[in-house]
Amino acid sequence: MRYLITSGKGLLGLEFIRQLKNAEVLSLDLPETDVCDLAALMERTVLFRPDVILHCAAWTDVDGCEDDPAKAYHVNSIGTRNVCLAAKEVGASLVYFSTDYVFDGVKNSPYQEYDPPAPLSVYGQTKLAGERIAAELCPKRYVIRTSWLFGLFGRNFVDAILRQAEEGKTISVVADQIGSPTYAKDLVQAVLALLRLPYSAYGTYHFSNSGACSWYDLAVAVIKKAGRRGKVIPVTTEAMRRPAPRPAYSVLSHELLQSLGIVPRPWQEALIDYLEELGFPQDRH
């Protein structure tokens, strides 16, 4: 199998590269290749002729997207269109990574894959547009919605909490947004398991680690498991006064992946694994 990865220098792209070390991989990223440049993207894709394109590139700054909708649409939607056209040109399967923010958060039970999307933010709207573009242009596609991603190779919430705790700061964290953390290592393992099935199970899937918590709950768990003394204060979403609205509840159901035998572990176990990789010893007894 030959894999092309967009945003190969990002958190998710580098985790794919780590786990695909024995495969043929072409990693594309700025400044050498921009997914918004169709000609350059098409040239690299046609020369490499991948079997699978892992489309990890996106502008994920939720508040930044709200402040600059044109850029968000250009990167998350038009960039995805270009990747879809390149995949179609060489007959490659596409894996498009989307987000829990395609939902509005009014539900009080986990969102299933076929629940109607209703994004509140520009970020969610442009990622949903990417889903629809992929559906229109790529019959050989996997849409993977995920949430609250953390991992070894990029900025993320867990690292931010650890850094602030090291600096002895009092940390204000939102307590009224409920979702599911996702360890990039587990997400990549799940996607590769899906791709290695003896048949093609194209479609839309949800993956996060199992269980639900608030951002505040996650921050408290990080500090406790890392053995730090940082103080965490729960605050409301309204008090944070951020430009982009967030869903109050965005827990994802894993029903379709579980039907294929791909079952996520609890987020608490994934967090312990991550902290161990960072060098924080954990008592597993």
Give the pLDDT confidence score for residue 285 in this predicted structure. 61
State how far the Cα of 23 lies from the Cα of 81, in Å rounded to an integer: 26
Q: Model-level pTM?
A: 0.96
Q: What is the pLDDT of residue 230?
A: 83
Strand spans (E) along the chain: 2-6, 24-28, 52-55, 93-99, 141-146, 149-150, 170-174, 178-179, 182-183, 203-206, 213-214, 231-235
Catalytic residue among 101, 123, 183, 216: 123
pLDDT at 277 over 70: yes
Mean pLDDT along residues 119-139 = 97
Superfamily of structural domain 2-156+180-210+250-265: NAD(P)-binding Rossmann-like Domain (3.40.50.720)
Catalytic residue check, 123: yes
Which whole number is the average pLDDT over 248-274?
97
Helices vs. strands in the chain: H and E counts, helices first: 12, 12
Average pLDDT (100-120) is 97
Residues 146-158: what's their mean pLDDT? 96
Enumerate the domain spans of the chain. 2-156+180-210+250-265
Q: What is the mean pLDDT of residues 57-71?
A: 97
pLDDT at 214: 98
- Quick: pLDDT tens for 27-43: 999 988 999 999 999 99
pLDDT value of residue 259: 96
